[in-house]
Structure 1
Amino acid sequence: MAESTAVETRVIVPEPALEVDDNKDSDSAYGDELSSYSASIASSVQNYEWKHGRRYHSYQAGSYQFPNDEREQDRLNARHHVMLRLMHDRLFLAPIKPDGMRILDIGTGTGIWAMQLGDLYPSAELIVGNDLSPIQPQWVPPNVKFLVDDVEKDWAEAQKYDYIHCRYMAGSIRDWPSLVRQCYNNLKPGGWLELKKGNPRPYSDDDTLKPDNNVALMLQFLCEACDKVGRTLNPAPNFERLVAEAGFKNIEKKMFKLPLGAWPKDPRLKEIGAFMALDFIEGVEAFTLVPFTDVLGWTKEEVDVLNTKVRHDAKRRDVHYVFDYYVVTAQKPE
């Protein structure tokens, strides 16, 4: 195993502060963008659990605190669109050519990333998406398949991949060093790993985000709930160290500024920010219900009150929220 101190990491610094659109009449941010992009995905009915009117998986009780119903699937598909636009319409940043590759998408969710990759690269040998819940569609590109698997246990299919893609897994993993080692062991020599996650601590470049903001407070409480169950919501700052300690080389970190709200001047970032605002307005219930009631001991009524405040603050044009989004790519030595 390589010593972490001997690994050189190339870091691409975040973009400069985003420009604010001062045109108050240009805000069409919270209209039909989400519904026009997202589509409900039919799921295979399993022994799911229902809490507070939302459906949750029951594959391993307690390992995932967020719903898997159609409302959540729509949100995840919209969040995929955000990440795609944030990375300038690229599904991956690792220096790979998927043709002929065996690829794994960890925690595939609705499977949208894997299916889009399969459509773009029909010559990829196999794209596997794994998840705790079988919510993926049945009709997929011929080189795509899905399986139910818990990546924190022995992997259901022991095979070597050329590329492993992992995003949306914060709050889901108890042992990140073990997961990264699993990825290393299941990659072919020369294979690539790509880890993606945003920092859940928002900030503003112009001091418009104040400590009493309800979006920031909700995320603070959510981080506390995830820490209490041993599944951090903020693993991204440790990604470089984890891949170095596992023995990866050619490590590169890229950081993107992810806005919330339609306040940016740049049209692409305005679109991204609009979707992110909708993500919080329509998705805050999914973030909070189980973590706040089951872990923090809140009542359902207390959670509802906070969520109403979060929805209000997520619509504010005078608060210029920014999240840092991390993408770390690393290669297994030849």
Structure 2
Amino acid sequence: MGQYSLDRPDEPQEHRRLDLQHEMWLLTFNGELHLSKIPAMKNSILDIGCGNGVWTQAMATAHPTSHVTGMDITPPATAQRSNVKYVQANAEEPWPFHGQFTFIHARMLVAVVRDWPTLLKQCWEHLEPGGRFELSDLVPPVHAAESEWDNDTSPIIKWATAVQATWRTEGLDPTVISDLDKTLEQLGFVNITHSRLRWPVGTWSNDEKERKIGELCLLNFQRIHESAGHRMLLNKNSNISEDEARNLSNDGIKDFTENCCSKRFFFDL
């Protein structure tokens, strides 16, 4: 897993943003922490890319007889529950444990994982027979439901397209989440299912739950832009200046904030 494009998860502002993002996932899953069916008791659970540990801790609370391990390159320093353990590790490198898990969970990794075959192979090798693996993520980029704006004439989509181009120079594939089935099947995974969901941006949806998600989604990505909107466009291979990156990011978040309802922006999940 690569370096964080955003602030580190142990920094206060990013910690709060990850809590907010966790609330978005809870709303999306109707209050559930996951969609997979797992036994009610005595599970061994792994949370890949655990960030600030918000899902790890919540899962340990919901399953007090289970043991939950959170793995990240910058995991929390301490666990708040006795059935939680944090491990500092890169999930794309050999894992520092040999046990198997009942349930492996991963969320929001599209912007950090380069070697998906290696990561998924290790998931397979560390799953108990009959175990479950669940991956929840965005499918970039942001879209506009108003089709005339679903292109680079919208500054936020122009920014998002530029971010994806930068990701590709770093070995990241922004479309990989939609194309993992073959790799999973080759490893031996069966009963692969998909839940096609979306996050609206702002309060344009007629659905009450989606309006709440949309409020949080707008705030979440405003915070991302504040902390790293221009940095996500810059690396050693960038062909734009820092000022150009800032202007592109500022135009994008202005469009995102002011036009989210008129253009009906949304993210596929």
CA contact (8 A) 1:195 1:239 kept: no
1:302 matched to 2:255: no
Match of 2:32 in 1: 90
Computing the radius of gyration from Cα coordinates, the structure with the larger value is: 1
* Distance in 2, Cα, partners of 1:190 & 1:197: 23
* Distance in 1, Cα, partners of 2:213 & 2:57: 22
Match of 2:168 in 1: 227
What SS is found at the alignment partner of 1:172? coil
Q: Within 5 A, what are the aligned runs for 1:191-230?
A: 191-207=131-147, 209-211=149-151, 212-230=153-171
CA contact (8 A) 2:105 2:135 kept: yes
CA contact (8 A) 1:240 1:253 kept: no
What SS is found at the alignment partner of 1:273? helix
Q: Within 5 A, what are the aligned runs for 1:32-111?
A: 63-68=3-8, 69-111=11-53
* Distance in 2, Cα, partners of 1:205 & 1:246: 36
Offset at residue 115 of structure 1 (A): 0.5
Identity of aligned residues (%): 24
Structure 2, unpaired ranges of 5+? none
Residue type at the aligned position of 2:210: L
Offset at residue 184 of structure 1 (A): 0.2
Structure 1 residues 109, 98: CA separation in 2 closer, same or farther (over 3 Å shift)?
farther
Offset at residue 202 of structure 1 (A): 2.6
Offset at residue 139 of structure 1 (A): 4.5
CA contact (8 A) 1:102 1:161 kept: yes
Residue type at the aligned position of 1:207: S
Count, aligned residues: 263
Structure 1 residues 271, 66: CA separation in 2 closer, same or farther (over 3 Å shift)?
same
Match of 1:176 in 2: 116
Offset at residue 71 of structure 1 (A): 1.8
TM-score (norm 1): 0.74
Select 1:140's aligned residue among 62, 77, 80.
80
Match of 1:122 in 2: 64
* Distance in 2, Cα, partners of 1:149 & 1:179: 12
Structure 1, unpaired ranges of 5+? 1-59, 326-334
Bigger relative contact order (CA 8 A; separation at least 6): 1
Match of 1:322 in 2: 266
Superposed CA RMSD: 1.8
* Distance in 2, Cα, partners of 1:109 & 1:234: 22
CA contact (8 A) 2:146 2:263 kept: no
Select 1:241's aligned residue among 182, 185, 188.
182
TM-score (norm 2): 0.91
Residue type at the aligned position of 1:243: L
CA contact (8 A) 1:105 1:128 kept: yes
Structure 1 residues 149, 318: CA separation in 2 closer, same or farther (over 3 Å shift)?
same
Structure 1 residues 75, 234: CA separation in 2 closer, same or farther (over 3 Å shift)?
farther
* Distance in 2, Cα, partners of 1:198 & 1:85: 15
